[in-house]
């Protein structure tokens, strides 16, 4: 089990290079912050790799420190990967996985989200994200969905709570579009979507959501997120327990055919 609370390699590389050129130019963090129109704490966070450069930060910092394009070159790599640093390692494994099994209880999983629904989800983020960050995260989330059509195609399974399919994030029109999209994805031959009936008296995962991967190296890996951070589970017995729990969840949920009928029923009621 290992945590993903540290910054990404790309962000840290940019931050280290920024510090090098700033110090070479004889500038303090405060002096550079004044030139860039940012606070000293923002410059410090960028240098530590805790946040990526936003807006014109990289361009102006490159000019202010005399980096001669070095900062811009590293910043260009950052824009290729527009996701939170703690999610990057998971996304890399997801893109190559031979099987993905996902249990979600609060919202439609990211791999199944429409653009409008994803935007509504990120608009709920606390603390709030700015428009640029929301645009970037939505684009990255949609790019991840290419995994459904990858060759060879992965086997993908979802178990969803009914509330995730009825909570009107973004409004009723957004939810209706989302449900129709979910039904389209569920028709793919490599995807199964199951709904957990709300009247069950037993439930195998009251502790919350989880994502299980069979990696391209044929290793099993689990990914769990919570309010305090995110982490991989890669060691026994915890890993085996999670895979066993998901197997029980699938048995407790409605069949894919029954789930499709229920999702269609929810959509008709909107």
In CATH terms, the superfamily for domain 7-80 is: lambda repressor-like DNA-binding domains (1.10.260.40)
Torsion over CA of 194, 242, 189 and 88, rounded to 10 degrees?
A: 110
18-34 mean pLDDT: 95
> Contact, 54 vs 133, CB < 8 A?
yes
pLDDT digits (tens, 9 = 90+) for 186-198: 999 999 999 999 9
22-47 mean pLDDT: 92
Domain locations in the chain as residue ranges: 7-80, 85-112+145-268
Non-local CB neighbours of 51 within 8 Å, separated by 6+ positions = 11, 42, 45
pLDDT digits (tens, 9 = 90+) for 82-124: 566 567 788 889 999 999 999 999 999 999 999 999 999 999 9
Number of neighbours of residue 214 by Cβ within 10 angstroms:
18
In CATH terms, the superfamily for domain 85-112+145-268 is: Endonuclease Chain A (3.30.870.10)
What pLDDT is recorded for position 83?
63
The pLDDT confidence band at residue 79, using thresholds 50, 70 and 90, is low
pLDDT digits (tens, 9 = 90+) for 151-185: 999 999 999 999 999 999 999 999 999 999 999 99
> Contact, 61 vs 54, CB < 8 A?
no
């Amino acid at each position: 089990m290992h945590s993903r609370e540290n910054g990404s390699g790309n962000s840290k590389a940019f931050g280290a290079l920024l510090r090098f050129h700033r110090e070479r130019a004889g500038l303090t963090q405060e002096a550079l912050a004044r030139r860039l129109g940012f606070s000293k704490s923002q410059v410090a966070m960028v240098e530590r790799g805790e946040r990526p450069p936003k807006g014109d930060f990289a361009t102006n910092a490159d000019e202010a420190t005399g980096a001669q394009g070095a900062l811009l070159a590293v910043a260009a790599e950052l824009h290729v990967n527009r996701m939170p640093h703690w999610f990057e390692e998971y996304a890399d494994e997801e893109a190559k996985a031979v099987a993905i099994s996902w249990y979600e209880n609060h919202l439609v999983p990211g791999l199944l989200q429409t653009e409008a629904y994803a935007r509504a989800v990120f608009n709920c983020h606390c603390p709030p994200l700015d428009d640029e960050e929301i645009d970037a995260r939505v684009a990255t989330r949609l790019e991840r969905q290419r995994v459904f059509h990858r060759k060879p195609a992965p086997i993908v399974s979802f178990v969803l709570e009914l509330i995730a399919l009825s909570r009107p994030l973004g409004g009723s029109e957004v939810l209706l579009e989302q449900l129709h999209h979910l039904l389209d994805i569920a028709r793919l031959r490599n995807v199964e979507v199951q709904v957990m009936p709300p009247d069950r008296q037993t439930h195998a995962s009251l502790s919350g959501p989880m994502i299980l991967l069979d990696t391209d190296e044929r290793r099993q890996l689990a990914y769990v997120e919570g309010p305090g951070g995110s982490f991989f589970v890669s060691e026994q017995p915890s890993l085996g327990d999670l895979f066993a729990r998901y197997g029980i969840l699938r048995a407790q949920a409605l069949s894919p055919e029954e789930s499709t009928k229920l999702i269609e029923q929810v959509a008709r009621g909107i």
